[in-house]
Structure 1
Amino acid sequence: MCPSLQESNIVLNDVNGKNINTYGVAKMSIRVGKISYENNVIICDIALDAILGQDFLLKFVNKIDYKKMTLHTDEDVIQCWIGGKSNMICRVFASEGINLPANCYKWVDIQFPSAKVHDEPVYIESLYETVIEKNICVLAGIVQPVSDKLSVLVANFNNEDIDLNPNTQLGTCESCSKRVSDTDARCASVVVDNPESSPSQLPEYLKDMWERSSKHLTTDESERVAALFVKFQNVFSKTSEDIGRIENVQHRIDTGNAQPIKQMPRRLPLGKREIERQEVHKMLERGIIEPSQSYARDDENKIVQTPIEEDEAHQIRVITRSQYSERKDKVKISDCILDGWDTTEIRQLQLEDPVIGYILTAKEDSNRPQWNEISHLSSLVKTLWRQWDRLVIHIGMLYRNWTDEQNEVNVLQLLLPITKHNEVLKYLHDTPTGGHLGVEKTLDKVRQTFYWPNMKETVQKYCTKCDLCTSRKHSKESPAPMGTYIVGEPMEKIAIDIFGSSPAYR
């Protein structure tokens, strides 16, 4: 009897976030192993036959053994496999210990855990790691898993005998039908236009690779490899300076709704800056990178194109040519410092700040207040007032011009409103990239972008109250020294060291 389909408002999405078309929910009998289970099933468009959801596993499955690949229910133990029987690749083990003579081959009894799953012949081949590490190889062949005793020929290429321990992995096995279909698919895509190509036609830069690749091949196989190398010779790099660029494959990098961010240049020691400049010019000559044609804002807050000279190494960027011509008109330069910040919001917070707002208003009027006008205000306002000449307005926000003496660069520090202090400190101290550094290092990170009066005290207070930092740092306080106790007369206070119990002596 066909189950009745009921409408449902369930929304399903695939791993890429795309919506999956659903038709409804029906109660069906699901046969897993030898037992049937009644459960609700969502009817939708998916490539797989079915997917067991968490509700089914919680309701009927008591245990999942990932090592043995089994589901344990109240009625049965269900053997599982990956992608169906034909897709399953099993590991092949030696069933018992055996000695392999040097430069000889010998029959070895084998076992593989999922032999009962396969009801058709399987193809067994050697494991690459075993060949490299032990220099032994399983002779490829076909076996019937349902046989009472399974064995394969194992060749020992060493000059000494090798002892194989029980459960040593020798190779892998997979369904013959799966392997045949895969082989047909692979061979159908390989077409050699010139089968008569000989190794003498190989370019000089490919001969060494061909000789190393043909070391264990027959003459016919070696010639086929040479034909492939000749056909696709333009894919390989000709010299160490050649990056081997081809136009046969194109790719697209979708960044979604991600916006550009501001980031300080990487710090480099003075001794490495010349090396960096040389490497950048090498990449320019090879065509790996090209000068940036970024967009920036002028003094009137208009977006203008600013070509960048090749001489400045730190102004060269790696670009994706397939995306550059399409996306350069859509690039938006954001003056936000952290993700989610907006310049209009930051300006409004600066105006509402009791300290920054007063100075920002005066700066916009280009009228520095007199001392008698600010003498009654807080010390924080006076701190900014004393730095009047270092304060600038950029895109409507107040910045401080600060010189980083260590890196010999000038930095525009955003005057951060008090409402954003904890958010910035949490981002620069608590996040995984922050690393819960100490006061001085956290302060250095803050100075690269932000400034506010009494910034050091704020950072020190925040780091001191960090629970994770406090739990991991030991107190530097030393125990109190022993002192002298003043008494009024002899024997007024008596100190006794209690010792015991000690063994009895005669």
Structure 2
Amino acid sequence: MDEVIIGLDFMLDQGMKINMKNRIMTYNNMEVPLRFGYDGPYSSKRVILEESEQIPPKSEAVVWAKIDGDCGTNKLWVVEATQNCTPDVLIGKTLAKTQMDGRIPVRVLNEFKSPVKLRRGTVLGQCREVEAIFNCEKLPKSDSIGGNDIAEDINAWTEGLEEKYQHKAKELLRRYSNIFDKDGDKPGSTNVVKHRIDTGDARPIRQAPRSVPLCQT
């Protein structure tokens, strides 16, 4: 069965953005990699239903589960189905936070025409703590170089990096693209920012540049 995204309309209404090509979800200043699946080895924890639940037919519900092992509190986790989890319901791949008592919400969907009974202790899926969180602020369009103006340079600069680092490097370069010289002119001086050097009782001096003695090189 193919994977589905449950609650997509809610996430979009809350301002979340999902990049399916790069498997990245962004929300405010957080970027969450959705690189979790069956084809790669990684450390994950089982998500186990805390109490028995009955899911009405053709409906969606949120049930409470426990993470198998030490999970801490107030941490972000990506919850998803596994190949060996219960086939009776669909498990939504969602971003969830552990509560003070260690519980975590899991979104489930019953697509059948009859109720589905989930028993206590049922393995609903797996979860993994979010790996990368960093600022995703965007500069005003007027302050940034057009994507086509610097795209080739960014691709060349990030060539050879591993895929997980290449995406981050490209995003960083695009975010601060306004500092690059796109016209080929040498940077000039500015009076926007000023600073003062405290020399104490000594008066500032101006000295012509001198060569450094070989003993000091």
TM-score normalized with structure 1 length: 0.18
Normalised TM-score (structure 2): 0.38
Bigger helix fraction: 1
Highest RCO, 1 vs 2 (Cα 8 Å, sep ≥ 6): 2
* CA radius of gyration, larger in: 1
